[in-house]
Amino acid sequence: MLNELKQQVFEANLALVKYDLVTLTWGNVSGISREENLVVIKPSGVEYEKLTVNDMVVLDLSGKIIEGNLRPSSDTPTHIELYKSFPSIGGIAHSHSTYATIFAQACKEIPCFGTTHADAFYGNVPLTRFLTKKEVEENYELNTGKAVIQRFKKLDPNTVPGVLVAGHAPFTWGKNAGDAVKNNLMLERIAFMALHSLQLNPKLKLLPKHLLEKHHERKHGPNAYYGQKNRR
Amino acid sequence: MLNELKQQVFEANLALVKYDLVTLTWGNVSGISREENLVVIKPSGVEYEKLTVNDMVVLDLSGKIIEGNLRPSSDTPTHIELYKSFPSIGGIAHSHSTYATIFAQACKEIPCFGTTHADAFYGNVPLTRFLTKKEVEENYELNTGKAVIQRFKKLDPNTVPGVLVAGHAPFTWGKNAGDAVKNNLMLERIAFMALHSLQLNPKLKLLPKHLLEKHHERKHGPNAYYGQKNRR
Amino acid sequence: MLNELKQQVFEANLALVKYDLVTLTWGNVSGISREENLVVIKPSGVEYEKLTVNDMVVLDLSGKIIEGNLRPSSDTPTHIELYKSFPSIGGIAHSHSTYATIFAQACKEIPCFGTTHADAFYGNVPLTRFLTKKEVEENYELNTGKAVIQRFKKLDPNTVPGVLVAGHAPFTWGKNAGDAVKNNLMLERIAFMALHSLQLNPKLKLLPKHLLEKHHERKHGPNAYYGQKNRR
Amino acid sequence: MLNELKQQVFEANLALVKYDLVTLTWGNVSGISREENLVVIKPSGVEYEKLTVNDMVVLDLSGKIIEGNLRPSSDTPTHIELYKSFPSIGGIAHSHSTYATIFAQACKEIPCFGTTHADAFYGNVPLTRFLTKKEVEENYELNTGKAVIQRFKKLDPNTVPGVLVAGHAPFTWGKNAGDAVKNNLMLERIAFMALHSLQLNPKLKLLPKHLLEKHHERKHGPNAYYGQKNRR
């Protein structure tokens, strides 16, 4: 059942390790089959070295486990909430990658200072508000998803493929699980460079808008000319 | 004698290297058999590349060598003192991991700025006072242990699994030697992120308390739901 | 056709990965045959792990593809423009190596603070101005090349083998593709050390001129005595 | 001739790479036979990947090449000068390891902030003055050695096994070539931690003197008890 998706999600979880985005078990990746409305996600707290494709957990959009012997990631309700609200996305990656997490902890959005950022994110990387005590007690992970969606009221998840959860860490997404992990990696690099750019020039201004638009368009716009036609 | 414990402690010492927590021979891990009141610890100054399981040294709680041809770690009296005072712990790791050591050198506790910290440590990572000249001359390593215990008068070693020794470096502990090393790694990541969070926002406030509690509880509380039941 | 050059350029592209100068596909290296006026360059957006020597694209100096089934790097017009204006160079490397990119984003030239810098660059690493909206719309990549050339009006590309493009990232060059990548690596190390030197001493002065000259001369001058005669 | 020493020096040069202390060819290690008054050193500008034990160059203390087909390191006169003035040392390592070089560039001595530092260096890591224009023109490398010796007028090279050359980079030494490289590595870690300790606490005071002395003594003093007797 969903063998191809399970393989994709399994490999995307291992890519978190390959790209050095996780420490121990701090992260998880999921993917969704939009046809069957089923989500595949990493089991909770399992070490990446011991992870197998058969450990992946399959759930429906109500959070009911359809297949799998292990508990799903404790962040599963956040993933499901995002899949429900962002119909164009096919995969989600959550990590505590250090520099993105530093911005999340410091409660700072990541300003767009360069074309590397513009290639991946159209404008600032947004930050959610903190959840209230009531929201945490009620359903922490579900309400984390809702806080992300609230922050995206005026943002497009297709051009802004990720978010910083205040005090916590990043979530990124993409057209599939592998793509979500690549956006997680890009976010980490962007955060690293933004922090040090501010160190070098604390009054640094944003990248001029015509450069932001140009770089985003040449990779993602209707007339994009970056990469190979057949691979896009 | 104590073959399983010696193997565990040996592997935990190598994990210090695997997680990039040591330079040269700057670190040591021990484990205790509570049934036999015997401690197993790395020999002093032996290179990790040449270390074998049979190099592990076995001591009783008076510091007497029971088995082993090599001198035990020079920090052994600190380990023994902690085992005596913290009856619930089964392993101790000492490293000079760079960022935790930076906080120890700078004589700063590590504030809890995010959920990654809350997952591992309930509140600040504490710092000891400096030893006096007399304490150093009398018995440096033993009194280092006593200074840690003094700092923990109002702290619970089960929810705060580590400490920074002023001017020196961290000690962490856990239910066994491997667990102690994992807490050493988490402490290093927490220190790294705290330092850079302060760089980004020098007036950063602590993580709201309801988030600290939630994250600690979901991993370590009586109703913890992180990870797999059978593996906890 | 141009088999040796294609092999050189292919290997130089892989050296970007080996020296940890690229993330994902953010970078490209080219080489030129001055006899045939043909440029060999990496294809656009192809993952380094999947890259083969036969993927290299051959173009003439008008930008026409002479050989190859894939689109050339989107930065190709910048490379060609530099080859036209800097007749002594044989290879060009473009990366988003993090610290050089941080200086480019922060719109700061890299001051010469030490002999490591002097070994590679004679004086500051220069920075271009931002392109105007008109220049971006007209031909972004070509005009990036023109902005570099404009910045070099009073500089010698033989003693200053690279540049920071404002808001974007570095381009470096050398006598061949491999040399251009080595200069990219040296630029990255120089940028890293300059940023942290400024952190340690915000009022740091430039390296005294007689040391800058000595170090540059002993590696690159007519009486250079660094390295082996037969390898230079 | 001197086969064992050549092997030692060769391996110590490779250790610079293993410990990540060099970029490209920026570094060199030598060793001396005090019985024969001959120095073995790395050849100049040869890539570490291609280096063989037979590439090592043998010189006498006047700088005359006794054996070897390649030019010795351009820094050879500095090495020889140090061997002449510091009769107890058996090996010298020069690198541009990044953090030690940052302190050298920033013209700052490295203060002793912690026990890790005290384990390796008794007190500050010293810094030379800049050479004058005349000294550079006359004999740059020889006069670099003389400036180091001048700085050590009141220092003991046995308890302070290295120096920062202003604007340039570190030289370290030890009882043999391998030991010199280990001191180079320790210096790099010390520099890294000192820089970040100052970031965390710009008014940080030195480690109390009784702790500095205790840590140095337990490793290097007449009653040292760190490590194994037979290995010291």
For A84-106, what is each residue's pLDDT tens digit? 999 999 999 999 999 999 999 99
CATH class of A3-220: alpha beta
Residue D115 and residue B169: Cβ atoms within 8 Å?
A: yes
Domain boundaries, chain A: 3-220
Can you list the positions of beta strands (E) in A63-125?
65-67, 91-95
| C10 has a pLDDT exceeding 70 | yes
3-state helix, strand, coil in chain C (%, to 5): 45, 15, 40
Cα D23 to chain centroid distance, Å, stands at: 17
C53 touches C43 (CB < 8 A): no
Which residue is it, tokens 């050359």?
Answer: D165
Using a CB-CB cut-off of 8 Å, the residues of chain C touching A192 are 98
Query: Phi and psi for A176 in degrees, rounded to 5?
Result: -155, 180
A54: tokens are: 């058969």
Contact status, residue A111 vs residue A194, Cβ threshold 8 Å: yes
Of D79, D90, D109, nearest in space to D198 by CA: D109
Active site residues of D: 119, 226
Q: Token pair of B157, please?
A: 């070693």
The encoded tokens of residue B119 equal: 């997952």
- Which positions in chain B touch D180 (Cβ < 8 Å)? none
Task: Select from D192, D211, D226 the Cβ nearest to the Cβ of B136.
Answer: D211
DSSP D114: S
Q: Which amino acid is at C140?
A: Y
Can you give B93-144 as a three-state secondary structure string? EEECCHHHHHHHHCCCCECCCCHHHHHHCCCCECECCCCCHHHHHHHHHHHH
Residue D38 DSSP SS3: strand
Instruction: Kindly state the average pLDDT of the residues C21-47.
Output: 96
Other beta carbons less than 10 A from residue A150's beta carbon = 12
**How many CB atoms lie under 10 A from the CB of residue A156?**
12
Using CA atoms, how far apart are residues D165 and D144, in angstroms rounded to an integer? Answer: 8
- Residues D118-172: pLDDT tens digits? 999 999 999 999 999 999 999 999 999 999 999 999 999 999 999 999 999 999 9
Distance CA A100, CA A105 (A): 9
Nearest residue in A to B205, CA atom: A106
The yes-or-no answer on residue C226 being catalytic is yes
CA of D214: which chain B residue's CA is closest?
B136
Which residues, listed in sequence order, are joined to residue C90 by a DSSP beta bridge? none
The pLDDT value given to residue A232: 42
Residues of D near C (CB-CB distance < 8 A)? 23-26, 43-46, 70-71, 74, 96, 98-99, 101-108, 130-131, 133, 136-137, 140, 167-169, 195, 198-199
By CA distance, what is A100's nearest residue in B? B193
Contacts 24+ apart (CB under 8 A), B154-157: B155/B126, B156/B122, B157/B86, B157/B88, B157/B89
State how far the Cα of C32 lies from the Cα of C6, in Å rounded to an integer: 10
Instruction: Give the model's pLDDT for residue B135.
Output: 97
**What's the pLDDT at C230?**
58
Residue A53 contacts residue A10 (beta carbons within 8 Å):
yes
C155/chain D closest Cα distance in angstroms: 24
Separation of alpha carbons A118 and C140, rounded Å: 15
Subunit contact A227:C45, Cβ cutoff 8 A: yes
How many whole angstroms separate alpha carbon C171 and alpha carbon C163? 6
Q: Which of A105, A129, A134 to mutate to test the interface with B (most CBs of B within 10 A)?
A: A105
Q: How confident is the model at residue D232 (pLDDT cuts 50, 70, 90)?
A: very low
DSSP helix/strand/coil, A109: coil
Closest C-alpha among B121, B107, B84, B97 to residue B165 = B107
Q: What is the ipTM of this complex?
A: 0.94
> Closest Cα partner for D22 from C58, C186, A98?
C186
**Longest C-alpha distance within chain A, in Å?**
54
D110, closest residue in chain C (CA to CA):
C200
pLDDT tens-digit profile, chain B (232 residues): 799 999 999 999 999 999 999 999 899 999 999 999 999 999 999 999 999 999 999 999 999 999 999 999 999 999 999 999 999 999 999 999 999 999 999 999 999 999 999 999 999 999 999 999 999 999 999 999 999 999 999 999 999 999 999 999 999 999 999 999 999 999 999 999 999 999 999 999 999 999 999 988 888 888 888 888 755 4
Nearest-CB residue to C168 (from A114, A210, A232) = A114
Amino acid at B119: D
Cβ pair A78, A59 in contact under 8 A? no
Give SS3 for A1: coil
The sign one gets for the Cα dihedral D103, D106, D107, D111 is negative
**Residue A57 β-bridge partners:** A41
In this model, does residue A155 exceed pLDDT 90? yes
Which positions of B are catalytic?
119, 226
Q: How far apart are CA B148 and CA B163, in angstroms?
A: 7
Structure tokens at B14: 């190598």
Q: How many residues are recorded in chain B?
A: 232
Residues A104/A167, Cβ–Cβ less than 8 Å:
yes
- Cα angle B209, B213, B217 (rounded to 5 degrees) comes to 175
